[in-house]
Amino acid sequence: MRRDIERVLISQDRIALRVHELARQITDDHRSSPGGGAEVELTIVPVLTGAMIFCADLIRHIPIAMKIGLLAVTSYPGRSVASQGSRVIGEMTGDLRGRHVLLVDDILDSGGTVRLVKRMLKDSGAAAVRTCVLLRKDRPSAREVEVDYVGFEIPDEFVVGYGLDFNNYYRNLPDIVTLKAHVTQRTA
């Protein structure tokens, strides 16, 4: 696995620091928002599978009562390195009516996933929907989608690690990295 890495874009140490900062910001904003305060609960909705690791680290630094709802979305099936369009393939969010929801995704690329899921959550009757992405690619479509929290701005390159995959592999790499061209160009 390690020999497939081209370069480390964001090290695990930098990720850990930034995740901590994001969590503090989310906690502060939630407590100071209208209708917020320590007594208002959150529902955290990670978009599976990519946001699983980021979300697990993030929420352990958010000391607010919360439930977790799950959504599975596919957009880069198999060996794709470009979006094939977002589709919800699993939904276990629980009752979102009146809830303050924080949508957590790994990366903003075409923006299709966040747009789709945000609309779904709002239509489910959530009182508020905020959005947090770990990475945002440097491309116009990613900047056009409004999100509340962004961990890192990255170049428009295909990345894996820290939850992000290629063909469902590499999610367990602790750093965010690019892969050598021959790995992604290999035919099945």
Is 164 a residue that touches ligand 5GP (CB under 6 A)?
yes
CB 60, min distance to Mg ion, A: 21
Binding positions for ligand 5GP, 13-52, rule CB under 6 A: 47, 50
Is 158 a residue that touches ligand 5GP (CB under 6 A)?
yes
Please list the active-site residues.
Answer: 109
Is 112 a residue that touches Mg ion (CB under 5 A)?
no
Is 112 a residue that touches ligand 5GP (CB under 6 A)?
yes
The token duo for 28 is 């502060």
Figure out which of the listed residues 43, 86, 93, 124 binds ligand 5GP, where binding follows CB under 6 A.
Answer: 86
Q: What residue number has its CB nearest to Mg ion?
A: 50
Question: Toward ligand 5GP, which CB reaches closer, 12 or 83?
Answer: 83
Is 50 a residue that touches Mg ion (CB under 5 A)?
yes
Please write down the HEC assignment for all residues of the chain.
CHHHEEEEEECHHHHHHHHHHHHHHHHHHHHHCCCCCCCCCEEEEEEECCCHHHHHHHHCCCCCCEEECEEEEECCCCCCCCCCCCEEEEEECCCCCCCEEEEEEEEECCCHHHHHHHHHHHHCCCCEEEEEEEEEECCHHHHHCCCCEEEEEECCCCEEECCECECCECCCCCCEEEECHHHHHCCC
Stretch that binds ligand 5GP, among 35-43, 62-70, 93-101, 108-116 (CB under 6 A): 108-116
Contacts with ligand 5GP by CB under 6 A lie at 47, 50, 75-76, 83, 86, 105-113, 158-160, 164-166
Contacts with Mg ion by CB under 5 A lie at 50
